[in-house]
Structure 1
């Protein structure tokens, strides 16, 4: 028949069990509440240890080549998108001048000559262009007549002496000549010289 433990031995067992329970509870989240009537556990010893920085623990991973290519393409496309926006803005400004009178040497906003209209419209779009049509024919990128896009500059006569802004459909907006207002004309009504994209 097994012997019952003596009182001192029983006290030692209870103390050991309580200490083990306190140690177990010390690792639980602080939000876990102890049952009512349970004595507060003895404070657990604080353990400190050095932890390596995450950069040395987690392996570094190079970006995926497709992501790198996409980012590079986006960076390259940004200037092109800005230039397209400027052309669109300049065209809208020029179209808003329809009906205003032609006056040689005028740069707006109440009257224009051909290159004055172009420099005014592009100036409002944040692009500074030379004052004369002949000088404007040297800026930007040359484009073929068949590749014209809205906002491109179209030059006429040889040597260049007139300019308009292409609006699409074979037409330009321009300050044409004395006695006529800013208007829309067919591109083939004058001898085509060249075109430039700003």
Structure 2
């Protein structure tokens, strides 16, 4: 009985982004910047929501323009606005199934929350989010684009939001907090699945 209880508790604890399809998987651990585990919130972003060392690319034409068919009136898909909102949530705790800053986020709950702050409806599960928007090549990524990874199972099982350069922000795992990562890091590059632009 105790062994079953311990196994059940461990299965719940180690589930990375469980909103990726309802199945419980044991994820590979997410890398921590500088190794180890995150002890507390990340430092505040430097200027205007852009982390130190990131030079924002020039604004792309059409970003933030009037809503395209399928989005509600008033929806704002400006990538810099989306990434600024995402960066304001750095340090928020991870919580499996979490959908708000007060109690914490999982990866898809974080993405959904950020997009909803700009009037953009977003599905709850990673696999559903992977079906939204237009596919974008990696060399064309812009702030606000969604980046998807295959971390715990085949197919989309983790999601983050590009913030500029080669960096993205996400809610990584039960030991972590919302933080910025480098898309070119070996862990993420080897698990990269694709990207979507919601406009």
Q: Hey, what's the Cα distance between the residues in 2 that align with 1:117 and 1:89?
A: 15
- TM-score with structure 2 setting the length: 0.57
Q: Which residues in structure 2 correspond to 1:182-197 (within 5 Å)?
A: 182-188=178-184, 189-190=187-188, 191-197=191-197
Match of 1:120 among 100, 103, 113: 113
Question: Is there any run of 5+ residues in structure 2 with no aligned partner, and where?
Answer: 1-61, 69-73
Deviation at 1:83, TM superposition (A): 7.1
Indicate the residue corresponding to 1:30 in structure 2.
none
The CA RMSD over aligned residues, in Å, is: 2.0
Q: Which has the higher contact order (CA 8 A, sep 6+)?
A: 2
Question: Is there any run of 5+ residues in structure 1 with no aligned partner, and where?
Answer: 1-73
Q: Which residues in structure 2 correspond to 1:26-175 (within 5 Å)?
A: 78-79=66-67, 85-110=77-102, 111-157=104-150, 158-175=154-171
Q: Hey, what's the Cα distance between the residues in 1 that align with 2:100 and 2:136?
A: 27
Task: Assess, with a 3 A threshold, how the Cα gap between structure 1 residues 197 and 83 changes in structure 2: closer, same or farther.
Answer: farther
> Whose Rg is larger?
1
The number of equivalent residue pairs is: 122
Describe the SS at the equivalent of 2:105.
coil
Task: Assess, with a 3 A threshold, how the Cα gap between structure 1 residues 169 and 83 changes in structure 2: closer, same or farther.
Answer: farther
